[in-house]
Amino acid sequence: MHCDLLFEIKFYTHYFTDTKKQKGGNKMTVEVIAIGGYEEVGKNMTAVKVGEDVIIFDMGIHLDRISIHEDTDIDRMHSLDLIERGVIPDDTIMKDVDGKVKGIVFSHGHLDHIGAVAKLAHRYDAPIIGTPYTTALIEKQIKGERKFKVNNPIRPLNPGSKIKLSKDITLEFVQSTHSIPQAVFPVLHTNEGIIVYALDFKFDNHQKVSPPPDYNRLRELGRKGVLALIVETTNAINYTETRTYSEKVARIILEDLMREPLKAKEGMIVTTFSSHIERIQTIADIAKDSDREILFLGRSMERFCGIAQNLGILKLPANAYVYGSPKAVNKALMKAEDDRDKFLLVTTGHQGEPDALLPRIASGRTPFNVKKGDNVIFSAPIIPNPTNAANRHILESKLKANGARIYANAHVSGHAGREDHRDFLRMLKPKHIIPAHGELNMLVAYGELAEEEGYRIGNNIHILRNAQAQVFNGN
């Protein structure tokens, strides 16, 4: 691939850099600074510096590093303690970046992308920008924060819209799809070229709560000239799932699995991500004509579903109820225990996290007890790491010991498969690729895929680690 830029890698460990306009020309250097998410799946944070202007993408947490799940409260923990534990990005390297932060931009509302905003955003005199759903979730995060005061202005930006961040940088949100509503591709338009941030996405043309990705706009960007693509690698190492199935497939699976249990006399539980509003809508739609009340239970269910309802994204039927507080949840569980054929419980805890609701139910720590013949449907995968695998095994063992029937993996991925990535590269035609959102083997797997498309690792595929920066020097 032809390349008209020189590039180098910088290491940000108490390192000062100056990226002003180069002598003898009008070109500015462009730096992509890997802060978090380049050695792990989680704690995503990237900075892009164009001349003296800096844009930050995402401020996420690493869910695996301590026992964190969707209902975990880290509001009282200090950022430095969380950095030391590897839970949030180590953004202390930003003190060595000679530039002014013009915006903190969020791609979507998952915790591995927004979970650290209340711990880090106050350090930067810059607005927080995301889609309306994402910014509403961020406002909730900030409101619950007990350690720091976050006064950054919050600016919602709709998919398909643009906002000028500085004299030389315009931000555009291009419609994407993922496993949460209003996910976007944030795009920076600069004098040095276009930079596309693609964490996370799938190509799904059949979602109910989200429109399809804007393929036409992606192709237009490719024709205009994309300097760099910062791209997720979640499924790059999965050589068997070449294309990711649509949510339409998950709907069909759940319809088949839920049909008979909804009519049965036994208890019924479906567990999924509380942030997966598309899946929540599917579960509600399937059960709305049944004789069961649908109970969405847990603090995170209340947070994600409540905001989605307020924005008109989620439309629950009349027989659906959301309970968040421990008192309300326990009261609902008591009703379900007495009349188990009249309720469908929808919970978090599918990873087996000990303090999440489903594991507590399985352990007999709630008013609802699993009994012989009860049906439990897992509409979520095991997030692959040893702790999750062990916790999930313990959870399933307890459920089976109580006589439950388990239906596993009623799910499709929210991340692009290898052939989706190949199509993405052909749409955008980026000059440079920076794989992110993964461990080293995932980043390399993506690099190998890109090499099949004519790119070369070490030439125009740049595999970074946290605290490294890729510098493109105009000449």
Condensed to tens digits (0 to 9), the pLDDT of residues 29-68 reads 999 999 999 999 889 999 999 999 999 999 999 877 544 4
How far is it, in rounded angstroms, from Cα 304 to Cα 337? Answer: 26
Write down the pTM of the prediction. 0.91
**266 domain residue, yes or no:** yes
- Residues 380, 437, single domain; the answer is no
Q: Tell me whether residue 351 is in a domain.
A: yes
257 and 215 in a single domain? The answer is no
> In DSSP terms, which residues pair with 264 in a beta bridge?
none
Query: In terms of domains, do 344 and 433 share one?
Result: no
Report d(CA 154, CA 114) in Å as an integer: 13
Whether residue 1 is contained in a domain is answered as: no
C-alpha to C-alpha distances, 46 to 31, 100, 199, 219, nearest whole angstrom: 10, 15, 11, 24
The per-residue b/e assignment along 364-380, b for 16 or more CB within 10 angstroms, e otherwise, is eebbbebeeebbbbbbb
44: closest CA among 26, 31, 57? 57
Residue that finishes a domain, picked among 384, 407, 430? 407
In this structure, the chain runs to a length of 475
| CA contacts within 13 A on the Cβ side of 25 | 9
Say whether both 468 and 380 belong to one domain: no
Q: Are residues 237 and 258 in the same domain?
A: no
Beta bridge partners of 123: none
Task: Report the C-alpha gap between 287 and 298 in whole angstroms.
Answer: 19
**Chosen domain end from 390, 407, 424:** 407
Structurally, the chain folds into a number of domains equal to: 2
Q: pLDDT tens digits, the chain, 475 residues: what are they?
A: 444 445 566 665 433 333 344 444 567 899 999 999 999 988 999 999 999 999 999 999 987 754 444 455 566 666 777 877 888 999 999 999 989 999 999 999 999 999 999 999 999 999 999 999 999 999 999 998 878 889 999 999 999 999 999 999 999 999 999 999 999 999 999 999 999 999 999 999 999 999 999 999 999 999 999 999 999 999 999 988 789 999 999 999 999 999 999 999 999 999 999 999 999 999 999 999 999 999 999 999 999 999 999 999 999 999 999 999 999 999 999 999 999 999 999 999 999 988 899 999 999 999 999 999 999 999 998 876 778 889 999 999 999 999 999 999 899 999 999 999 999 999 999 999 999 999 999 999 999 999 999 999 999 999 999 999 999 975 3
Measuring CA to CA, which residue among 171, 177, 176, 178 is closest to residue 156? 171
Domain holding 109, by residue range, is 6-242+414-473
Contact status, residue 33 vs residue 115, Cβ threshold 8 Å? no
Let me know if residue 46 belongs to a domain: yes
Here the CATH number for the domain that contains residue 373 is 3.40.50.10710
Q: Alpha-carbon distance 156 to 430, whole Å?
A: 28
Amino acid 22: pLDDT: 44
Is residue 368 located within the same domain as residue 423?
no
pLDDT of residue 74: 66
Q: What is the pLDDT of residue 65?
A: 54
pLDDT at 7: 55
Q: DSSP state, 437? A: S
User: What is the model's pLDDT at position 226?
Assistant: 97
Judgement on whether residues 192 and 87 belong to the same structural domain of the protein:
yes
Single out the residue of 157, 103, 145, 415 nearest to residue 276, CA to CA.
415
Q: 62 to each of 11, 152, 280, 444, how far by Cα in Å?
A: 22, 23, 24, 21
Looking at 407, 432, 447, the residue that finishes a domain is 407
Q: Other CB atoms closer than 10 Å to residue 183's CB: what's the count?
A: 28
**465/357 same-domain check:** no
Strand segments (E) across 141-260: 154-156, 162-164, 169-175, 184-190, 193-198, 226-232
Does any domain span residue 296?
Answer: yes
Q: What is the CATH number of the domain that holds 171?
A: 3.60.15.10
Assess whether 378 and 357 both reside in one domain.
yes
* Same-domain status, 295 and 210: no
Domain co-membership, 441 together with 380: no
Give the model's pLDDT for residue 13.
42
100 and 238 co-located in one domain: yes
